Amino acid sequence: MAKKAALSRKDVRFQCCDFRELGKGSYDIVYISNLYHLLRRSQREELRIAVMKVIKPTGLLFLSTLSISDPEHYRKGVPVSDEPNSFVDKVFLHFCTRTELEHDFNFLNIRELYEHEYYEPRAAGETHHHISWILVGVR
Protein backbone atom coordinates (compact mmCIF):
# COMPACT_ATOMS: atom_id res chain seq x y z
CA MET A 1 0.00 0.00 0.00
CA ALA A 2 1.45 3.36 -1.05
CA LYS A 3 1.77 5.98 1.64
CA LYS A 4 0.58 9.50 0.96
CA ALA A 5 3.24 12.13 1.44
CA ALA A 6 2.25 14.61 4.11
CA LEU A 7 3.06 18.21 3.31
CA SER A 8 3.70 20.73 5.99
CA ARG A 9 3.69 24.48 5.61
CA LYS A 10 7.48 24.48 5.50
CA ASP A 11 7.31 22.30 2.36
CA VAL A 12 5.25 24.82 0.44
CA ARG A 13 6.51 28.28 -0.43
CA PHE A 14 4.54 30.86 -2.37
CA GLN A 15 6.38 33.78 -3.84
CA CYS A 16 4.68 36.67 -5.57
CA CYS A 17 7.38 38.82 -7.11
CA ASP A 18 8.77 40.57 -10.12
CA PHE A 19 10.11 37.75 -12.29
CA ARG A 20 13.46 39.56 -12.50
CA GLU A 21 13.80 39.05 -8.74
CA LEU A 22 13.37 35.26 -8.68
CA GLY A 23 17.02 34.76 -7.85
CA LYS A 24 18.57 31.35 -7.71
CA GLY A 25 15.68 29.43 -6.19
CA SER A 26 14.02 26.54 -7.94
CA TYR A 27 10.32 25.88 -8.21
CA ASP A 28 8.07 22.90 -8.84
CA ILE A 29 5.33 25.18 -10.18
CA VAL A 30 5.51 28.57 -11.88
CA TYR A 31 2.21 30.38 -12.38
CA ILE A 32 2.07 33.43 -14.67
CA SER A 33 -1.33 34.99 -15.20
CA ASN A 34 -2.19 38.15 -17.12
CA LEU A 35 1.40 39.35 -17.35
CA TYR A 36 2.91 37.99 -20.57
CA HIS A 37 0.73 40.15 -22.84
CA LEU A 38 1.87 43.32 -21.02
CA LEU A 39 5.54 42.71 -21.83
CA ARG A 40 7.51 43.93 -24.82
CA ARG A 41 9.45 41.37 -26.90
CA SER A 42 12.71 41.72 -24.92
CA GLN A 43 10.83 41.48 -21.61
CA ARG A 44 9.00 38.34 -22.78
CA GLU A 45 12.38 36.81 -23.63
CA GLU A 46 13.71 37.83 -20.22
CA LEU A 47 10.72 36.15 -18.57
CA ARG A 48 11.24 32.92 -20.52
CA ILE A 49 14.93 32.85 -19.55
CA ALA A 50 13.99 33.38 -15.90
CA VAL A 51 11.49 30.50 -16.08
CA MET A 52 14.10 28.23 -17.71
CA LYS A 53 16.52 28.99 -14.86
CA VAL A 54 14.16 28.43 -11.94
CA ILE A 55 11.74 25.70 -12.97
CA LYS A 56 12.79 22.31 -11.66
CA PRO A 57 13.10 19.25 -13.88
CA THR A 58 9.53 17.91 -14.16
CA GLY A 59 8.31 21.34 -12.92
CA LEU A 60 5.07 22.79 -14.25
CA LEU A 61 4.44 26.13 -15.91
CA PHE A 62 0.92 27.54 -15.97
CA LEU A 63 0.55 30.60 -18.21
CA SER A 64 -2.42 32.67 -19.32
CA THR A 65 -2.08 35.44 -21.89
CA LEU A 66 -4.31 37.25 -24.37
CA SER A 67 -5.05 35.67 -27.73
CA ILE A 68 -5.36 37.36 -31.12
CA SER A 69 -8.98 36.14 -30.88
CA ASP A 70 -9.67 38.50 -27.95
CA PRO A 71 -12.67 40.64 -28.97
CA GLU A 72 -12.20 43.22 -26.21
CA HIS A 73 -8.75 44.58 -27.07
CA TYR A 74 -7.24 43.01 -30.22
CA ARG A 75 -6.56 45.54 -32.99
CA LYS A 76 -7.57 48.43 -30.73
CA GLY A 77 -5.14 51.27 -30.39
CA VAL A 78 -2.01 52.04 -32.38
CA PRO A 79 -0.15 49.07 -33.89
CA VAL A 80 3.44 48.69 -32.68
CA SER A 81 5.56 48.61 -35.83
CA ASP A 82 8.30 46.29 -34.60
CA GLU A 83 6.04 43.87 -32.70
CA PRO A 84 3.39 42.01 -34.71
CA ASN A 85 0.06 41.59 -32.91
CA SER A 86 0.92 44.38 -30.46
CA PHE A 87 -1.02 47.59 -29.90
CA VAL A 88 -0.92 50.60 -27.60
CA ASP A 89 -4.20 52.07 -26.47
CA LYS A 90 -4.01 53.03 -22.80
CA VAL A 91 -1.31 50.41 -22.26
CA PHE A 92 0.89 48.18 -24.40
CA LEU A 93 -0.75 44.82 -25.17
CA HIS A 94 0.71 41.89 -27.08
CA PHE A 95 -1.63 39.20 -28.40
CA CYS A 96 -0.25 35.69 -28.90
CA THR A 97 -0.84 33.04 -31.52
CA ARG A 98 -0.61 29.28 -30.95
CA THR A 99 2.49 29.12 -33.15
CA GLU A 100 4.21 31.88 -31.19
CA LEU A 101 3.57 30.21 -27.83
CA GLU A 102 4.71 26.81 -29.12
CA HIS A 103 7.92 28.42 -30.35
CA ASP A 104 8.52 30.60 -27.29
CA PHE A 105 8.00 27.76 -24.81
CA ASN A 106 9.66 24.98 -26.82
CA PHE A 107 11.94 24.26 -23.84
CA LEU A 108 8.86 22.66 -22.23
CA ASN A 109 6.76 19.66 -23.08
CA ILE A 110 3.49 21.51 -23.73
CA ARG A 111 0.72 19.38 -22.25
CA GLU A 112 -2.15 21.76 -22.88
CA LEU A 113 -2.52 24.82 -25.07
CA TYR A 114 -6.01 26.09 -25.68
CA GLU A 115 -8.03 29.28 -25.95
CA HIS A 116 -10.30 30.06 -23.01
CA GLU A 117 -13.24 32.41 -23.41
CA TYR A 118 -14.52 34.28 -20.38
CA TYR A 119 -16.52 37.31 -19.33
CA GLU A 120 -15.00 39.72 -16.82
CA PRO A 121 -17.50 41.78 -14.82
CA ARG A 122 -16.28 45.24 -13.87
CA ALA A 123 -17.18 47.33 -10.82
CA ALA A 124 -18.84 50.00 -12.99
CA GLY A 125 -21.32 47.42 -14.28
CA GLU A 126 -19.94 46.65 -17.74
CA THR A 127 -18.66 43.21 -18.69
CA HIS A 128 -15.53 42.62 -20.76
CA HIS A 129 -15.38 39.64 -23.13
CA HIS A 130 -11.94 38.03 -23.39
CA ILE A 131 -10.24 35.10 -25.05
CA SER A 132 -6.93 34.04 -23.55
CA TRP A 133 -4.46 31.25 -24.16
CA ILE A 134 -3.96 28.76 -21.38
CA LEU A 135 -0.61 26.95 -21.55
CA VAL A 136 0.42 24.09 -19.28
CA GLY A 137 3.95 22.84 -19.81
CA VAL A 138 6.33 20.43 -18.08
CA ARG A 139 10.08 20.88 -17.96
CA-based nearest residue to 94, from 42, 17, 38, 24: 38
CA–CA distance, 61 with 115 (Å, rounded to integer): 16
Instruction: Name the 3-class secondary structure at 83.
Output: coil
What is the predicted pLDDT for the residue at 1? 47
With pLDDT > 70 as the criterion, what percentage of the chain qualifies? 90
Mean pLDDT across 63-77: 97
- The pTM of the full predicted model, rounded to 2 decimals, is 0.87
Mean pLDDT across 108-114: 98
What is the predicted pLDDT for the residue at 18? 79
> In the chain, what are the domains?
25-138 (3.40.50.150)
Answer whether residue 70 shows pLDDT above 50: yes
